[in-house]
Structure 1
Amino acid sequence: MTDSGFVIDVRSVPRRAGSLTEKAWSFDTPERIGAEMIGIPAGGRIEFDLRLESVSEGVLVTGTVGGHADGQCSRCLDPLEQDVSAYLTELFVYPDSETDRTADEDEEVERIVDEEIDLEQVVIDTIASDLPLSPLCRPDCPGLCPICGVKLADAEPDHGHDIIDPRWAKLADRLETTDGEAEGK
């Protein structure tokens, strides 16, 4: 393997269809991987348990990749942590294969370059698609009060605000004045 933990030297995988090599390793990721609200932080440990299988067109990579993600609840903004493990399947084609020769410029075909495959983008896509877009600290998280911002899980049970629609505010002022006059008489 080269310096990047995402790059695998495939010379150890014989170029005969059906040949198989298993690899397991881990390293600290140099950059954050994940969605906006949750992800594996930079410096977080990322673990691989993969099978590299030689097929006629290239090397088929299957297995799991995962790590410990942190982020914040999308409702109450409290910090949260969760383990993430995603299954990936990706074909990396040989430079001289039929798939490589016939693939359009627009097609996303992963290629073997200098007898190495780079899993970085595949891992980023796999982890990001496996993480929730709106993570929750718990399924029934009530979130924050939209008026004052207090965390509703910590608020009093009768927490609320009397809000008068601005279109009716003048009428409310009149009713208060009329009630005050009626009480004074």
Structure 2
Amino acid sequence: MPDNRPDNHDQPARPSANSPWVLDTRELGRRPGISKHLRRSMPVTTALGVPGVITVPAEAEVDVDILLESVVEGVLASGTASVVADGQCGRCLDPLTENVRVEITELFAYPDSTTEETTDEDEVSRLVDDLLDLEPVIRDAIVLGLPQVPLCTPDCAGLCAQCGVKWAELEPGHGHETIDPRWAALVERFGQGRDSQE
């Protein structure tokens, strides 16, 4: 006879123990107060960001400095992740590199803990067979940490809207005479003759 009892949560997929992003927490022993400090570089598996604006390329190394702490409800991961992103200036379009550093604080809930049982699946990370996967947490933090409008320098003046040359390369007082399109035909027809008579 089939078991029709509702499950509170489906069992999350087991992370691959071969992934450098997956950490084994067994040595913490589910004893609150025990901690482990980790520093390592981990490769980005897929490019992050907005192509043509700013991206962290696939295989870029993310430097992770993380503290794992055993708490009553799970394992708390806190620390920083740093990576270099490539892009172009949002004002002058010059290529640039951006050092991105993000803060990480994430609770990975134990199976059958109060947090695991009372929280929606997409609202908390979970431990599966004492393994935790840092990649989704750090990937999301890096994407949110990328500048929306990257700049080569904070005071970049951008490009002249008329000729497209960088303002930094133009002479002081650079400008373009603008003619009201309603008068353009008259200026074209009579402007030169008027100038020659003066």
Q: TM-score range by the shorter chain?
A: 0.7 to 0.9
User: Which residue of the partner structure matches residue 128 of structure 1?
Assistant: 143
- One-letter amino acid matched to 1:183: Q
* Aligned-residue offset at 1:101: 0.9
Contact 1:35 1:131 in 2 (8 A): no
- One-letter amino acid matched to 2:87: G
* TM-score under structure 2 length normalisation: 0.80
5+ long unaligned stretches in structure 2:
1-15
Which of 142, 152, 165 aligns to 1:137? It is 152
* Aligned-residue offset at 1:164: 1.8
Contact 1:80 1:137 in 2 (8 A): yes
Change (3 A) 1:11 1:40: same
Contact 1:38 1:71 in 2 (8 A): yes
Which of 75, 78, 82 aligns to 1:62? It is 78
Whole-Å Cα distance in 2 between the matches of residues 171 and 178 of structure 1? 11
Which of 87, 93, 96 aligns to 2:103? It is 87
* Aligned-residue offset at 1:63: 0.5
Per-residue CA distance 1:114-163 (angstroms, 9 max, x = gap)? 32111222112212222321111111111112222222222233432222
Which of 38, 47, 67 aligns to 1:32? It is 47
Q: Does residue 191 of structure 2 align to residue 176 of structure 1?
A: yes
5+ long unaligned stretches in structure 1:
none
Q: Does residue 109 of structure 2 align to residue 103 of structure 1?
A: no
- One-letter amino acid matched to 1:146: A
Shift >6 Å, 4+ stretches: none
Q: Does residue 59 of structure 2 align to residue 43 of structure 1?
A: yes
* TM-score under structure 1 length normalisation: 0.85
Whole-Å Cα distance in 2 between the matches of residues 82 and 115 of structure 1? 35
Segment of structure 1 superposing worse, 143-152 or 17-26: 143-152
User: Which residue of the partner structure matches residue 118 of structure 1?
Assistant: 133
> How many percent identity over aligned positions?
48
- One-letter amino acid matched to 2:108: F
Aligned-partner SS, 1:46: strand
Aligned-partner SS, 2:123: coil
